[in-house]
């Protein structure tokens, strides 16, 4: 009888140990599964591109990165940001990350326009805080250009060249002053200056000076 009880006690002890081991194994697996999920969430918000190149479509922007442009795997992200003051913008402004990333080959960027702007150019921030006019090509409602680094970019309309306006005014003034062989050698400097009809604001001193110099030569 004692032998039977001893064997029964050993059997019950074995079952208890097996149950305890199973419970410990289940609890140890749960934290591992949770940790794996956290790592996946950290990758949200960017697209990894390596030396083989690739295409990134994010926030309405398309980036075409050719093979060899990147030296290693890089997580690329695009997001909107505040547009700079002093520009006539034709699109949202975009922050390209990682900021400061440089490329060995030109990267093509295509951004959507927010207005009809057939003459829009791609403006890209530089290291000194200004924006470089990179030109580009407008196709329908998008603008495409090529960049060599990541920073802030947007589509905008280039400023009008004021020098061209002044040159045109000077040419117009010259046609109003008769050449010396036409009996106009007595044209006074004052008369030449007042004959300018350029349509420019009254503070366009550069135009008046140019006409005065020409009148002096003509006399």
Distance CA 93, CA 95 (A): 7
**The predicted structure's pLDDT at residue 130:** 94
Distance CA 70, CA 67 (A): 8
Say whether pTM exceeds 0.85. Answer: no
Q: Mean pLDDT, to the nearest integer, of 147-174?
A: 68
Confidence at 164, pLDDT banded by 50, 70, 90: very low
Q: What is the pLDDT of residues 102-144, one digit of tens each?
A: 999 999 999 999 999 999 999 999 999 999 999 999 999 999 9
- 58 contacts: CB under 8 Å, gap ≥ 6: 47, 76, 77, 78
Helix (H, G, I), strand (E, B) or coil at 132: strand
Q: Mean pLDDT, to the nearest integer, of 184-191?
A: 44
Enter the DSSP assignment of 200.
-
Residue of higher predicted confidence among 154 and 28: 154
Q: Is the pLDDT of residue 55 over 60?
A: yes
Distance CA 121, CA 157 (A): 6
Distance CA 53, CA 66 (A): 5
């Amino acid at each position: 009888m004692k032998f039977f009880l001893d064997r029964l006690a050993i059997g019950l002890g074995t079952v208890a140990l097996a149950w305890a081991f199973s419970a410990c194994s289940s609890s140890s697996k749960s934290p591992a599964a949770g940790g794996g999920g956290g790592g996946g969430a950290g990758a949200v918000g960017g697209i990894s591109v390596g030396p083989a190149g690739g295409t990134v479509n994010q926030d309405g922007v398309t980036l075409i990165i050719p093979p060899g442009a990147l030296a290693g795997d890089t997580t690329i992200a695009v997001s909107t940001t505040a547009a700079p003051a002093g520009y006539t913008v034709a699109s949202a402004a975009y922050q390209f990350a990682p900021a400061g990333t440089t490329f060995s080959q030109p990267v093509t960027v295509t951004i959507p326009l927010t207005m009809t702007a057939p003459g829009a150019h791609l403006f890209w921030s530089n290291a000194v805080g200004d924006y470089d006019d990179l030109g580009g090509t407008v196709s329908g409602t998008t603008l495409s250009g090529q960049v060599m680094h990541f920073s802030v970019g947007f589509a905008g309309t280039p400023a009008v060249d004021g020098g061209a306006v002044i040159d045109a005014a000077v040419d117009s003034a010259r046609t109003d002053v008769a050449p010396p062989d036409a009996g106009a050698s007595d044209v006074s400097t004052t008369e030449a200056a007042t004959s300018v009809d350029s349509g420019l604001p009254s503070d366009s001193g550069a135009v008046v000076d140019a006409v005065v110099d020409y009148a002096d030569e003509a006399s």
